[in-house]
């Protein structure tokens, strides 16, 4: 995971004109990105389940290396093995996902930059936020 607070994009464009230029660049790149694939890819060797296999010998001769694709589906971590050919064919989609996240982080920094430059926002900044007792859209609120 990328920590947005450590991203260099926080040091970018601060004037409205610089922001507009950056937004055009980012959205143009996003428009051409195409399909993406989530998760992370690692390449490693593995042992199989057969105890008499060479991968359990001393010294072991492991299988692979293979590509392991790990992603989160409904809060569960799913890992699948990908062949060299499969990974070669779909690698651009994994790279596109990473690029999309970087670009979204840059857009977020631009949004923050715009909000923080807004004088109406600055008026209330010194007090800090207070937590509402109940979310205003809470359907179980007794007042609604």
User: By the criterion CB under 5 A, which residues form the site for Zn ion?
Assistant: 48, 53, 55
Closest CB to Zn ion among residues 12, 62: 62
Smallest distance from the beta carbon of 48 to Zn ion, in angstroms? 3
CA atoms within 13 A on the CB side of 7: 18
Nearest-approach distance from CB 42 to Zn ion, in angstroms: 19
Chain position whose Cβ is nearest to Zn ion: 53
Tally of helices (H runs) and strands (E runs) in the chain: 3, 3
Residue 39: left if φ>0, alpha if ψ -120 to 50, beta else—which one? Answer: left
Smallest separation, CB 1 to Zn ion (Å): 33
Kindly tell me which of 47 and 91 has the beta carbon lying closer to Zn ion: 47
Q: Compare residues 53 and 114 and give the one whose CB is closer to Zn ion.
A: 53
| Percent of residues in the chain assigned helix, strand, coil, to nearest 5 | 45, 15, 40
Q: For the CB of residue 44, give the shortest distance to Zn ion in the complex, in Å.
A: 14
Residue 39 or 64 having the CB closest to Zn ion: 64
Give the Cα separation of 118 and 137 in Å (integer).
Answer: 27
């Amino acid at each position: 995971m990328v920590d947005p607070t450590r991203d260099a994009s926080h040091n970018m464009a601060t004037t409205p004109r610089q922001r507009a230029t950056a937004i055009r660049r980012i959205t143009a790149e996003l428009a051409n990105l195409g399909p993406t694939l989530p998760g992370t890819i690692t390449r490693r060797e593995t042992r199989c389940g057969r105890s008499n296999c060479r991968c359990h010998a001393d010294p072991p001769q492991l299988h692979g290396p293979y590509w392991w694709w790990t992603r989160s589906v409904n809060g569960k971590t799913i890992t699948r093995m990908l062949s060299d050919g499969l990974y070669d064919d779909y690698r651009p989609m994994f790279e596109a996902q990473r690029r999309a996240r970087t670009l979204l982080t840059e857009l977020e920094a631009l949004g923050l930059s715009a909000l923080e430059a807004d004088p109406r926002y600055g008026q209330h900044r010194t007090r800090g936020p207070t937590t509402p007792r109940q979310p205003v859209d809470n359907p179980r609120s007794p007042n609604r």
